[in-house]
Amino acid sequence: MTEPPANGQWSRPARRRAALSLLLLLTVSAINTAGLVLVPTLAADQPLLLVALRPTPTVLTLVAGRIDLVLLLLVTLPTRLLIDVAYFLAARYGGLALVERYAWSAVLVRPFSRRWAVRSLLAVALFSTSIPVDVALGLGPTRLRVFLTVGTVGALTSTVFWVVVSRSAQRPSGTVVDWFSAHTVLATMAILLAMGAVTALQIWRRGRKVRQPVAREPELPHVDGA
């Protein structure tokens, strides 16, 4: 984990790495958001493009069963690895800010230097990668090439799993896709409204926290000396 020096000033290379990792994270977030908004539009006619933009378990369950497995892996793996690397690098080069953003990751910070913790996280990543695991490994001593190797295996394993789930649930997922196709505008508006509501709630909560007055110690009455 990269920490600022004792004087509180980041070196220029450290600032550059943190800025680039943040830019990558914002890019990945924008791609995923675009994929979410476009689910109703792409699910029926362009499922391959949809999983390329947003290869989440929900989207894979919805449409992966209708895509050739080899083609699916070739398209989704780069995006999945990009997502994992974005959070890994953001944790590695901007870990302090990420811990402040995701409160749950603060609980995982302490054992990162312990060998058993790193091995446990890598074992989990072999079967499925996730943001908490990406962040945890980024805050620890794991090297990027090791993370990429394990993450590739985990992405392959979990993608194949969700393809199996998708093919076993083709009837209900097909019903959802057909509904999206018939109500594309309505579904897209619903997604946008839900995203706007969540964003507004987050802004309101942050504003409320900032405006919350700090408790002060009661002042003792002044007594003049005799």
Tokens (6 digits) for 72? 């699916």
Q: What share of the chain is helix, strand, coil (3-state, %, to 5)?
A: 80, 0, 20
The whole domain housing 50 covers 12-182
Decide if 119 is inside a domain.
yes
221: pLDDT confidence band, cut at 50, 70 and 90? low
Q: What pLDDT, on a 0 to 100 scale, did the predictor assign at position 4? A: 45
Over residues 101-137, the pLDDT tens digits come to: 555 555 556 666 678 888 888 999 998 888 888 888 8
Decide if 66 is inside a domain.
yes
Decide if 201 is inside a domain.
no
Decide if 61 is inside a domain.
yes
CA 154 to chain centre: 16
Question: CA Rg, the chain, in Å?
Answer: 22
Over residues 62-98, the pLDDT tens digits come to: 998 888 989 999 999 999 999 999 999 988 887 655 5
Q: What pLDDT, on a 0 to 100 scale, did the predictor assign at position 38? A: 92
d(CA 157, CA 126): 8
d(CA 77, CA 159): 9
Q: What pLDDT, on a 0 to 100 scale, did the predictor assign at position 3? A: 47
Q: What pLDDT, on a 0 to 100 scale, did the predictor assign at position 211? A: 67
Decide if 140 is inside a domain.
yes
Structural domain count of the chain: 1
Decide if 98 is inside a domain.
yes
Q: What pLDDT, on a 0 to 100 scale, did the predictor assign at position 7? A: 44
Angle, alpha carbons 72-77-80 (nearest 5°): 125
Between 132 and 150, the more confident residue is 150
Q: What pLDDT, on a 0 to 100 scale, did the predictor assign at position 207? A: 78
Over residues 162-215, the pLDDT tens digits come to: 999 999 988 888 889 889 888 889 989 998 999 889 888 888 887 777 666 555
Over residues 6-42, the pLDDT tens digits come to: 444 556 776 788 788 889 999 999 999 999 999 999 9
CB 155 within 8 A of CB 129: yes
The reported pTM is 0.76
Which H or E run contains 185? helix 184-211
Decide if 125 is inside a domain.
yes
